[in-house]
Amino acid sequence: MSNYIQARVMQSEDEAIEYLAHISLWSFVPHFLIASVLMAASVSIMLGTSTTGMIGANAPYAAALLAGLGLIALGRMLVVFYTTEIGVTNQRVILKIGWLSRQSSMINLEKIEMHEVVQSAMGRMLKFGNLDIRAAGMENLVIRGVDRPNILSDYVDQAKRRRLAASTPYTVHPDLDTAVGVA
């Protein structure tokens, strides 16, 4: 599942994957319901109409159209679910969506100004939601439908703190127990 992220991390010697997240199937319930309604309507049209008259003669075409739309909705849902990769490394947050048409976003941890979890009532009960990451000078990155977004948020926060601590030119003075700038 994480071939894209692993390939990006392997290009750098000092980067390591800290956490891999995935999309929750629960986030696709609305898509699944739409696909189910379209397929059910298709079956209903095929079983409930006669072949006589103007509507009856076109019923197979209408049923095929609805079934096709239902299959497209279901197929799109499965492609997004199986091709989405979400990862936190010690340097950045990586999101990749898609297979033939790919969208990838990477945000360096130092650039992250704020991140927040947004969950609906259903999302809280079923443990899925969105993670909205705001970065300096960049477009917001919204990771939609992520499974257990609070855990992902915690890993982003921890990785960011470690990254900033490693790059900050401050040391703790042993007598004062406070940060003192290093020249």
What is the arithmetic mean of pLDDT over 28-51? Answer: 83
Is the per-residue pLDDT at 23 higher than 70?
Answer: yes
pLDDT, average across residues 35-49: 84
Residue 13 has pLDDT above 90, yes or no: no
Task: Tell how strand 92-97 and strand 170-172 pair up.
Answer: unpaired
* Closest listed residue to residue 122, CA positions, set 91, 94, 145: 145
Q: Please tell me the least confidently modeled range out of 93-102, 106-115, 159-168.
A: 159-168
Amino acid at 66: L
Q: How many CB atoms lie within 10 A of CB 95?
A: 23
Check whether 22 has a pLDDT greater than 80.
Answer: yes
Task: Supply the DSSP string of 111-151, one letter for each residue.
Answer: GEEEEEEE--HHHHHHTEEEEEEEETTS--EEEEEEESHHH
Position 114 pLDDT exceeds 70: yes
Task: Identify the CA nearest to 117 among candidates 108, 105, 129, 109.
Answer: 129
pTM for the full predicted model:
0.77
In tens, the pLDDT along 53-91 reads 556 677 788 888 989 999 999 998 999 999 999 999 999
Phi/psi for 182 (5° steps) reads -105, 130
Q: Which of 181, 149, 8, 4 shows the shortest CA–CA distance to 90? A: 8
Mean pLDDT, the chain, integer: 85
pLDDT tops 80 at residue 1: no
